[in-house]
């Protein structure tokens, strides 16, 4: 089994984009994945994605089904779900709309409101929140990973464009997830501070035959000792 990983546009050593001049969408990022498969001469692959990567994986499952052998969507939310109204209401202390999926946890919203200066310390603090309060946070390993990521990024600040891409609405994002035919596994932590468990449950309910694997104590990232190996065993192949 060969694993292919690559830097999305605006991360690592991939292209840095002037988003204001050339805005891009989830669909564009998904087509980047198809271009990578084409570059390797592969007609299809088992697709696994986490968070934003999970949204891209959903897009591929809906719009490029012949390229997807199986799907594993981790720590994500249903494609087309707009988190902004729930975030705004939560930050303003207003009651939630019953039609909304739950907003991020107070700990995450407090971290965002603090507006820490960018850099390794800010990223470590974010990953501590992402880790959740139950499983131990492996700070040395997280710090080493984040330092490496920053050191090899052409423009570390460019990754913020991903949030702008996520919040750009488009008709293709609202295509029904019920059209996904690939065997699908949904992996979600019950302590996810960004996408609480209801997001994973809604995603599993929307995709025919999807299996939901709830990982006790897991937050939004895999920064607890032994957790990467535990989650790796849940990837659909």
Specify the pTM: 0.93
The answer as to whether 64 is a domain residue is yes
Catalytic residue, candidates 10, 123, 138, 192: 192
Q: Which long-range contacts (CB under 8 A, 24 or more apart) does 16-21 make?
A: 16/154, 16/155, 16/158, 17/158, 17/161, 19/161, 19/164, 19/165
Report the first-to-last Cα separation within the chain, whole angstroms. 10
82 in catalytic set: no
195 in catalytic set: no
What is the structure's pLDDT at 98? 62
pLDDT tens-digit readout, 84-134: 666 666 777 777 666 688 889 999 999 988 988 889 999 999 999 999 999
192 in catalytic set: yes
The answer as to whether 20 is a domain residue is no
The answer as to whether 15 is a domain residue is no
Number of domains into which the chain is organized: 1
pLDDT for 24 beyond 90 = yes
Q: Crossing angle of helices 120-131/106-114, nearest 10°?
A: 170
Q: Give the pair of three-digit tokens for residue 11.
A: 């991360």
Calpha distance 230→208 (Å, rounded): 25
The answer as to whether 128 is a domain residue is yes
pLDDT tens-digit readout, 54-94: 999 999 999 999 999 999 999 999 998 766 666 666 777 77
Q: Supply the CATH number for residue 158's domain.
A: 3.40.50.1820
The answer as to whether 154 is a domain residue is yes
The answer as to whether 16 is a domain residue is no
Structural domain of 103: 26-232
């Amino acid at each position: 089994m060969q694993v292919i990983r690559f830097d999305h546009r605006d991360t690592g050593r991939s292209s840095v984009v002037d988003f204001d001049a050339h805005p891009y969408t989830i669909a564009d990022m998904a087509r980047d994945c198809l271009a990578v498969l084409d570059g390797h001469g592969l007609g299809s692959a088992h697709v696994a994605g986490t968070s934003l990567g999970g949204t891209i994986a959903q897009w591929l499952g809906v719009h490029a089904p012949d390229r997807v052998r199986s799907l594993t969507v981790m720590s994500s939310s249903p494609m087309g779900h707009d988190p902004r109204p729930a975030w705004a209401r939560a930050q303003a202390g207003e009651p939630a709309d019953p039609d909304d999926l739950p907003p991020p946890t107070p700990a995450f919203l407090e971290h965002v409101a603090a507006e820490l200066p960018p850099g390794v310390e800010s990223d470590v603090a974010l990953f501590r929140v992402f880790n959740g309060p139950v499983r131990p946070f492996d700070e040395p390993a997280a710090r080493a990973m984040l330092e490496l990521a920053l050191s090899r990024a052409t423009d570390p600040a460019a990754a913020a464009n991903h949030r702008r891409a996520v919040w750009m609405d488009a008709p293709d994002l609202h295509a029904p997830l019920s059209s996904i035919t690939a065997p699908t596994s949904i992996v979600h932590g019950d302590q996810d501070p960004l996408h609480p468990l209801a997001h994973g449950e809604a995603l599993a309910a929307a995709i025919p035959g999807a299996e939901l694997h709830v990982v006790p104590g897991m937050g939004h990232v895999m920064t607890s000792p032994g957790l990467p190996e535990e989650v790796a065993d849940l990837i659909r192949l």
